[in-house]
Amino acid sequence: MRKINKKIVNFVPLDKRRFKSIYLISLFIISCLSIRVLNLQFLKSSNFKFKAIAMQNKRINSINSRRAIVDKNNRLIAFDKPLYRLWAHPKYFNFPGDSYKTIRTVDEVVDKLSKALNIEKEVLNSKFNNYEGGVKLFDDLDEEDSKKIKNLHISGLDLELYSKRFYPQGHLYSNIVGFVNDENVGSAGLELHLDEKINVLNKSNILKKGGDGTPLPDSSGPKDFVRDYRKIILTIDSRLQKITFDVLVKQVKEWKAKKGFAMVMNVNNGEILSLVSVPSYDPNEFWKYDQNLFKGWYMQDLFEPGSTFKPINLAMALEAKVVDKNGFVQDDGNIRVGGWDLYNWNKKGNGYINYPKVLQVSSNIGMVKIMQKLPPAKHWEWLNKLGINEKIDTDLYESTPGYLKSKDVFVNQPIEQAVASFGQGFSMSPLKLAQIHAILANGGYEIVPHVTKDFKTEDGNNKKNKLFSSEVSKTILEWMETVVEIGTGNGSKIDGYRIGGKTGTSQKAINGIYTTKKVCSFVATLPINDPKYLVLVVVDEPSKAYAYGSTVAVPVAKEIIESLIVLEKIPPHSKENKIIVKKP
């Protein structure tokens, strides 16, 4: 067994002065730590709490943006682009690495900015002249330029993100879509009328994350950070819209007219394939134009439809069974009604003619005699039933109700029914005329013209009342076909296609007095054997001689129809289905 050597150590008492020093030092350290803990936990806790929240939470601010608008083929008509404004606050100018007390000069900041943005220093310096407080240096900076500015890390330069509206097709859609003002607020057209649908109501969100960037659980909803990519889809075909626009602009200029309107509509569901009015404007620079151009006059201005309304009146007479479709009427060229003398447009008679011939030669006298067989009260009720004095429940501009004399005046003053028989004495918008003609074309059903794919009327029914029988509609369309074959609408004839139409040349009434100013129009339906499309052209106040519906409006309609046939792939009719028209 190994022997263990033991060493005896004698304890020596600690020096009192040394012990006291260690005690005091320890007490001081503990006191300092206690004070520090108290300072952090109580006095500065709120400050650190806010710093922690700032590190953990990132606010994603929303901007006022709007949904894109596209045509039926997804071609862009209007869209928002994110851009930046650059603001400068000279009293806070500071470079990375500077003391927080250091304030850099404008010249120093301009030197860095000019290099980053490749802009002359003089341009930047001029923006700081007579500044007080913040200075807006630039609008419309793109993402690339904004990154260059951010990479400078200059305190006192602030980038403001905003959304700007662009209209890539310029004048082409201005009188449908309208525009937004400088605050990105809808101010005309669909931008105004459908503002609630177009405007995107995004909310600001807060994203929580840990110190290492790991996302933390929070109360955000599943769709809070999903961007709204929905679009407003129009029924318009941009190809047809461009063709319609170009043809109409050319004709309005050729005839030195005040304005013009042209449209193509599906008569079965009210979808508008093209809609143009001129003069137009560029919505990207709306401030350069007269405000009168911003309204949709094709819905808000009224005109007397003239002879384009004659087929509608004939449909009323057939529906009321006061005339037979095989009947005839004596046209002597003039007639006296209630002390007023009425004439045909050329003051010539056409003799003993059938009803298709009345339309072919646009006989006013024939129409007066035909409609005199319909009791005035019934005639007025028909006009009222067609909604002439009502607004159109559509998705376009706010429409203006048409004007129709009171029933008492219409019934007790024979001249009112007489002039109404050839489309004067009452007024409506061009779009209302198209809506009424669509009733004839689709077999008698009232439809609502519209330009958005998801359009619904207030009652959810786009096809409403049945106003004419299918038999009457078919008869009137066949009569209108003879107008194109051998009548005043012959200029719109296209070999191989069955087209029906009616020209109109109406005098304009100003302050209740008819003037020499005219409105020339033409309405066409095709194909007659299976009606689907309606084309309407209205040219207001052509100022050259020989201005009629046949010379001014018909050529425009023909070019539109030719393009429509190609774009919609409308097949030609078979010869056995063609109506046989015998010249008188």
Residue 39 lies in a domain: no
Whether residue 317 is found in the same domain as residue 397: yes
Strand order in the sheet with 272-278: 272-278, 259-266, 533-540, 513-526, 500-510
CA-based angle 440:445:449, to the nearest 5?
85
pTM of the entire predicted model: 0.81
pLDDT in tens, 504-554: 998 887 777 778 899 999 999 999 999 999 999 999 999 999 999 999 999
| CA dist 476 → 55, 173, 311, 398 (Å) | 76, 34, 6, 31
Dist CA 410 CA 423 (whole Å): 14
Q: Which two tokens stand for residue 188?
A: 């005309």
Nearest to 262 by CA among 448, 72, 522: 522
Q: Tokens 């177009």 correspond to what residue? A: 198
Q: Report pLDDT for 583.
A: 47
Whether residue 296 is found in the same domain as residue 161: no
Report which residue type is found at 96: P
Residue 362 lies in a domain: yes
Q: Report pLDDT for 584.
A: 43
Q: Report pLDDT for 131.
A: 66
Whether residue 184 is found in the same domain as residue 252: no
Residue 159 lies in a domain: yes
Query: What residues have CB less than 8 Å from 539, skipping those under 6 apart?
Result: 251, 252, 255, 257, 259, 260, 261, 519, 520, 521, 552, 553, 556
DSSP character at residue 334: E
Question: Residues 335, 369: contact at Cβ < 8 Å?
Answer: yes
Dist CA 203 CA 58 (whole Å): 14
Question: Residues 359, 502: contact at Cβ < 8 Å?
Answer: yes
Residue 42 lies in a domain: no
Residue 435 lies in a domain: yes
Whether residue 426 is found in the same domain as residue 560: yes
Question: Residues 363, 331: contact at Cβ < 8 Å?
Answer: yes
Residue 501 lies in a domain: yes
pLDDT in tens, 181-232: 988 889 999 999 999 889 886 555 555 555 555 555 555 554 444 455 689 9
Whether residue 278 is found in the same domain as residue 158: no
Nearest to 303 by CA among 568, 155, 515: 515
Whether residue 440 is found in the same domain as residue 508: yes
Report which residue type is found at 153: H
Whether residue 186 is found in the same domain as residue 242: no
Q: Report pLDDT for 226.
A: 47
Whether residue 196 is found in the same domain as residue 246: no
Number of domains in the chain: 2
Question: Residues 526, 563: contact at Cβ < 8 Å?
Answer: no
- Domain housing 84: 65-203+227-233
Report, as residue numbers or ranges, the catalytic residues. 307
Q: How far apart are the first and last CA of the chain?
A: 151
* Element at 80 (helix H, strand E): strand 76-88
Dist CA 205 CA 238 (whole Å): 38
How many residues would you count in the chain? 584
We report the CATH number of the domain holding residue 73 as 3.90.1310.10
Extract the residue ranges of the chain whose pLDDT is less than 70.
1-7, 9-12, 14, 44-63, 130-133, 201-229, 457-463, 575-584
Q: Tokens 């194109």 correspond to what residue? A: 484
Whether residue 491 is found in the same domain as residue 567: yes
| CA dist 541 → 309, 346, 496, 522, 548 (Å) | 19, 19, 34, 15, 10
| CA dist 171 → 231, 258, 475 (Å) | 21, 17, 40
328 φ, ψ to 5°?
Answer: -130, 165
Q: Report pLDDT for 98.
A: 79
Question: Residues 291, 271: contact at Cβ < 8 Å?
Answer: no
Whether residue 260 is found in the same domain as residue 126: no
Judged on CB neighbours under 10 Å (0-12, 13-18, 19+), 183 is exposed
Whether residue 162 is found in the same domain as residue 282: no
Question: Residues 344, 350: contact at Cβ < 8 Å?
Answer: yes
Residue 32 lies in a domain: no
We report the CATH number of the domain holding residue 246 as 3.40.710.10
Dist CA 208 CA 55 (whole Å): 9
Residue 384 lies in a domain: yes
Whether residue 185 is found in the same domain as residue 250: no
Q: Report pLDDT for 522.
A: 97
Query: What residues have CB less than 8 Å from 12, skipping those under 6 apart?
Result: none
